[in-house]
Amino acid sequence: MIPIHWGTFNLAFHPWTEPAERVLAAAEEVGAQVIVPRPGGSVEIAEGQALERWWPALPWKTADEDPIISPGM
């Protein structure tokens, strides 16, 4: 899986690293491989890239610790 379009615009109330961390946590639960390219970066699938945690090590909470709940619910 390759998550894209995250961390490029400040449009949410969560920390900017949270989407990538939540994707990695969910992928680990189901055994999915994830590559997280840098914004504007490229990926060469045929070469098989290892996961590089290039984003800063900022505090974040898992979805279980801080669930996203719609204000209308």
pLDDT at 60 over 70: no
Query: Which amino acid is it at 12?
Result: A
- What value does the mean pLDDT take over residues 19-42? 87
Which pLDDT score is estimated for 29? 93
Separation CA 66–CA 43 (nearest Å):
31
DSSP labels for 41-64?
----GGG-PPP---S-------TT
Which pLDDT score is estimated for 30? 95
- What value does the mean pLDDT take over residues 7-33? 82
Burial environment of residue 18 by CB neighbours within 10 A (0 to 12, 13 to 18, 19 or more): buried
The pTM for the full model equals 0.63
